[in-house]
Structure 1
Amino acid sequence: MLTFNRTSLGTKIFTSMLTLVLIAFLMIAGVTYFQYKEQIRDYNEERLERKESSIRKTIDFVLDNTSYELKTEKIPYIFKEKIYEIASIQGENITMYDLEGEPLISSTDQLFDSPQQKKLCLETLQNLEESEEKRYVNQLDGEVSQQLSYSYINDPKYKPLAILEIEYEDSEAFINKELREILWRLVIVNILMVITAILLAYFLARYITITLKTVEDNIKATQLDKRNEKIDTTALPSELTTLVNAYNRMIDELEGSAVKLAQNEREAAWREMAKQVAHEIKNPLTPMRLTVQSFERRFDPEDPEVHDKIKEYSKTLIQQIDTMSSIASAFSNFADMPAQQSEILNVPNIVKLSVDIFNERYIYFSSEKEELYTNFDRTQLIRVVTNLVKNAVQATKTTAHPNIIVAVQELETEAEITVTDNGIGISAENEVKIFEPKFTTKSSGMGLGLAMVKNIMETYNGSITFTSQEGKGTVFKVVFPK
């Protein structure tokens, strides 16, 4: 057996779209973050190169116009004032070292205040010497991200005079601020996307599930004894069209099956009815046959009591004929559908007339109102009441103190008749069969009374129900529109 998650389709669509938006946001935020970091790094490198190029041009200009001899030891004199001017213009700290890594001059006094920073490390000198471009950049990560650019200062003949160090500070605060602003904009966009996704998911789920709800409602309302409406597939998407077409095919097949079932049920019912009629008619025919045979065998015209015997034989035959007539009338009454009548009846009056037919003194009638009108056929209403009271009388035959109450009550839009007895009650196994034709618990009768009452009540848009306790009694209740 296949098992399915019982979460609603609308919830799944909503959750899926919301998850998709959140995943998209995280992916975009991640890509944006790393892309922005990459761009900032490239930007800083390019900016450092521009700074370095500008500084080197200024240094070359100073070297070309100096009066000092171009030697390493003269560098501090050549750039004694110029190094501060260059650093101020470029906004970066500049330091010049000799070829051994000893500091010559710097735009910041901190260099000489920190002995551990006075000389370039051997690793820096080696990296600078081994680089093809004779340029080396060292990245320092700390509270303030820095890049230290090292390159040679050459004389006009490209002979190295000194080592130039440019201290470039990355603007991390600015970068982080820009990144936060970008991410905040993404959050706002994502919120708008989530709201859009919620609305879209709601209408999409409603669009999809409304058709499924229609199918569900139609399936719930499907009945074998009625014509079931099909669902129009004109404006549906292909996926739902397939489902609805399957439902419509099921309706066609169901109607065909219902027709065959109804036909089979009718045929079976008539076969059972024919068997029952034949059985009931055979019962009086047997004594009639025996009576005629006995009369033929014992008839003596000279017998002085011949007239009395003929009367006895005739009485026996007439009784059996009356029995057959009552059988025929019972089946005829059950088979005839009561015709709808527009006769306005006062229910309390008709019920009281029906109760007065019985001579038993333990039958009581009560009504909340003297007048309660309904559209009902007089004969059929009397038949309903008399059948129920007759059953109650038969159920109380073995009761020491029988008591039967027939009551009429007015409901909001309906009239209600109850017949209560303190008889033997109905067993649990018989409750499900109580309204079936030819079912009876009595030694006589054909079991058509309650089936006929149920048939009458359904014809007049009413209902019949009962409650019973075995050994304590039964309450039958019929309800029909006022």
Structure 2
Amino acid sequence: MLFITTFSTILITVVSLIHFRYEAKEYHEERLSRKENAIKEHIEYILQTSKFPLTTNNIPSIFKGRILELSDIHSLEVNFFDLNGKLLLSSKSYIKNKKKRKINAEILKSLKNSTEKRIVITKVKENETYIKSSYSYIKDADFKNLAILNIPYEENSDFYNQEAENFLTRYAQVFIIMFIISILISYLLSSNITKSISQISEKLGITQLNERNQKLKLQPGNQEINGLILAYNNMVDTLEESAQKLAQSEREHAWREMAKQVAHEIKNPLTPMRLTIQSFQRKFDPNDPNNSQKLEDFSETLIQQIDTMSTVASAFSNFANMPTQQNERLNIVQVCKTALEIFNEDYVDFISSENEIYTSFDRTQLTRIVTNLVKNAIQSIPENQKFKSVMVEILKEDTNFILKISDNGIGISFENQAYIFEPKFTTKNSGMGLGLAIIKKIIENYNGSISFKSEEEKGTLFTVKLPIKN
């Protein structure tokens, strides 16, 4: 809208200036023609009352005492030339090189060839003022050419220039007012249009697959925006339906994977138990004096495998059902120090930015977070590595406390980083792969977060961020 206003203003201004110039040109041409006709009528009167014979040579004598009168009455310069273009008489009191002044041969030729026996030549002065010179024949009573009349006319366009300047001044004032009005109207229109679009944009920005998203209300009288709103609302319905299907699918997949893992872990001890029992049946001899020792070995093997099965069941039970939080006011710094006392490695260091950071937390679960991460850090360092380092650091940041555990071990490969917090994922030869999954669940229950940065052959940094609660 602003572009249209500005463009139309420029176009009107250009057309108006062209019109003013055209009007000025027409005015001067018409004025010169009127002046020329009046002078010719005056000349005819002088010729009719002259006592001299009407010849070219007598022109200076006829008009000698009247040429200044002609010039003064009509306020124009008057010049008489003979038919060959030589100056005969001029209203100017003094003309430099009067004898040499002649009409240009081309002008003279154009005058002779003109059907109207009149031509007008326009020249430009040094100050860019236009000078029109009219050339026409003076005739006697028999319509024979006596002389050539030349009337120089200086175009004075001050009046039209002043009018153009006044017009531009008034139009500029109108343009400023219209431009301000255009800005206001454009702002109101754009605000009305973009308000609904902004609402849709905000809703799209906060739309989540796993949350219930709010729909937008239709805007009365705005079909285009309502089309967008209807499309957004349909998308919300589709998204909610897809989220439900996805959640159901993920739950079913998780339980299938968990069942497979439980079955696999239980089958592992069952195989040696079966083999042990079959071996005992084949080799059992009632008369063997070592039956007591063999029975004891057999029983010990079975008990070990049963204990393994019990451990597997307990691990999955703990993951499925986290123990109830027993929150108490704890000094985080002191609890972390105490948790590190079980590690005998002298390269495990602890630093804290504060001596005391109190919060409401479950002591057992906090200890589990620290010990699990430190244990993983220690296990990630090869035994033959000369320089070993595990650093535990606690920081206070606004209303949160941050626990950082770093090591200079082998790091986590890029391929494994995406699965590090998934249940049953492990890169170790032993263990259930539930440690990080369990502590991640503990941290999320406290509205915290856990992240890591790792570089192969250089080490890993785990960062736990938890809110401080009074």
State the TM bucket, normalised to the shorter chain: 0.7 to 0.9
For residue 347 of structure 1, the aligned residue among 326, 329, 332 is 332
Aligned mate of 2:131, from 142, 145, 149: 145
Alignment map for 1:5-404 (pairs within 5 Å): 17=3, 21=6, 25=10, 31-59=15-43, 66=49, 68=51, 71-72=54-55, 79-96=63-80, 106-109=90-93, 114-117=98-101, 124=108, 127=111, 131=115, 135-143=117-125, 145-152=131-138, 162-163=146-147, 165-171=149-155, 174=158, 181=165, 203=187, 207=191, 221-228=206-213, 234=219, 249-294=234-279, 311-336=296-321, 343-356=328-341, 358=342, 360=344, 362=346, 366=350, 368=352, 369-392=354-377, 394-395=379-380, 398=383
- Kindly indicate whether the alpha-carbon contact (under 8 Å) linking 2:421 and 2:436 is maintained by their aligned counterparts in 1: yes
Structure 1: distance between partners of 2:147 and 2:224 = 75
Name the counterpart of 1:8.
none
Pairwise CA distance, 1:276: 0.6
Per-residue CA distance 1:348-398 (angstroms, 9 max, x = gap): 343344345x36464857453453122333332232223224434544683
Return the offset for 1:255: 4.1
| 1:413 and 2:399 aligned | yes
Q: 1:92 touches 1:166 (CA, 8 Å); kept in 2? A: no
Of 53-62 and 87-96, more deviation after overlay is shown by 53-62
Letter aligned with residue 138 of structure 1: V
Match of 1:443 in 2: 429
Does structure 1 conserve the Cα–Cα contact (< 8 Å) formed by 2:412 and 2:455? yes
Q: Using a 3 Å threshold, how does the CA distance of structure 1 residues 99 and 412 change in structure 2: closer, same or farther?
A: closer
Deviates more, 1:260-269 or 1:337-346: 337-346
In 2, distance between residues paired with 1:348 and 1:99? 122
Higher mean alpha-carbon deviation, 300-309 vs 413-422, is at 300-309
**Structure 1 range deviating more: 375-384 or 469-478:** 469-478
1:106-136: per-residue Cα shift (whole Å, max 9, x none)?
A: 433557962344689797588468635xx51
Counterpart of 1:169 in structure 2: which amino acid? Y
**How much has 1:448 moved relative to structure 2?**
0.8
CA deviation digits over 1:291-329, x for unaligned, max 9?
444556666778776666555444433332222222112
Rate the CA distance shift 1:80–1:267 in 2: closer, same or farther, 3 A: same
* TM-score scaled by length of structure 2: 0.74
% of aligned pairs identical? 40
1:378-426 deviation line (CA, Å, top 9, x unaligned) = 3322322232244345446835787655444433432233445565554
Deviation digits for residues 155-196 of structure 1 (CA, Å, limit 9, x no counterpart): 5xx756845625131325748965984797599679959986
- SS of 1:440's partner is coil
* Separation (CA, whole Å) in 2 of partners of 1:370 and 1:165: 116
Quick check: 441-450 or 312-321, which moved more?
312-321
Structure-2 change in CA distance of 1:142 and 1:263 (3 Å): same
Normalization by structure 1: what TM-score? 0.73
* Alpha-carbon shift at residue 220 of structure 1 (Å): 5.5
Q: Aligned residue for 1:4?
A: none
Aligned to 1:452: 438
Q: Aligned residue pairs: how many?
A: 460
- Give unpaired runs (5+ residues) of structure 2: none
Distance in 2 of aligned mates of 1:120 and 1:421: 105
> The residue matched to 2:78 in structure 1 has which SS?
strand
- The 8 Å contact of residues 55 and 90 in structure 1, kept in 2 or not, is answered as yes
CA-based RMSD: 4.9
SS in 1 for 2:438: helix
- Asked if the contact 2:81–2:150 (Cα under 8 Å) also holds between the matched residues in 1, the reply is no
Q: Distance in 2 between matches of 1:56 and 1:420?
A: 113
Distance (Å, rounded) in 1 between the aligned partners of 2:249 and 2:7: 61
Q: What is the CA deviation profile of residues 72-91 of structure 1, one whole-angstrom value per residue up to 9, with x for unaligned ones?
A: 57766665434322310211
Amino acid of the structure 2 residue aligned with 1:84: L
Per-residue CA shift, 1:4-39, capped at 9, x if unaligned?
Answer: xxxxxxxxx99xx49x947973x5565445433332
- Alignment partners' CA distance in 2, 1:175 and 1:114: 34
Unaligned runs of 5+ in 1: 1-12
